[in-house]
A and B are shown apart, each in its own frame.
Chain A
Amino acid sequence: QQQVKQSPQSLIVQKGGISIINCAYENTAFDYFPWYQQFPGKGPALLIAIRPDVSEKKEGRFTISFNKSAKQFSLHIMDSQPGDSATYFCAASESGGYNKLIFGAGTRLAVHP
């Protein structure tokens, strides 16, 4: 019940295309859903986060779509760039983030020029 399932494991997208990564959860007590971006040799960096009271949040080229009834959320990267090539992790937490983050297994994104 604590798991967050993430797919796909890896993704190859052409420059300018849309990258889509999906996550699903079971624990209905989760109320904070961040996405982290990690480059090799670095710690994860927060990209964008959403609370379950909204169905979509957009920041620049990055959009989170949230479906509370299906217990699913996804990250869309519009106009993908080679610099977006990284590993992306979805996560979920109770208590608005003041609790442990439960991470998905990660998606390795490669954007080809």
Chain B
Amino acid sequence: GAGVSQSPSNKVTEKGKDVELRCDPISGHTALYWYRQRLGQGLEFLIYFQGNSAPDKSGLPSDRFSAERTGESVSTLTIQRTQQEDSAVYLCASSLGRGIGTQYFGPGTRLLVL
């Protein structure tokens, strides 16, 4: 595709439920990143993939958060037992993996936990 795509664009869930957020990076981009953006705030790093492995998971806020990437392509961010403080926009970015490391962002998934 032309850019990074994310689905769903919006997700409303009840506290305690699990959610899965999907990211399709730009074709050929080997690096993939997840960030979280709370309302009116900057972006917080969550996890970084190079290929299918995650050399940096330091931003995952708790063990309720996990992510995987398969086929050096699609990535899924899973939040278990959602809490109200998980409400945010979850953004995915990808980069080429060589040369200048420009990160291209998707439109995000807006998660609301009631």
Contacts and interface: CB of A to CB of B under 8 A. Distances in A.
A103 to B, nearest CB: 4
Contacts of A105: 41-42
A64 B6 CA distance: 30
A93 B91 contact: no
Contacts, number: 65
Contacts of A95: 101
Interface string B70-114: 000000000000000000000101010100111111111000000
A61 interface: no
Interface residues of B, number: 28
Interface in A1-31: 6
Given A97-B95, A98-B31, A99-B56, A46 B104 contact: yes
Contact of A101 (B50, B58, B103, B106): B103
A102 B43 CA distance: 8
A15 to B, nearest CB: 25
The interface size bin for chain A is 20 to 34
Interface of B: 4, 31, 33, 35, 40-45, 48, 50, 56, 58-59, 91, 93, 95, 97, 100-108
Interface of A: 6, 32, 34, 36, 41-46, 49, 89, 91, 93, 95-106
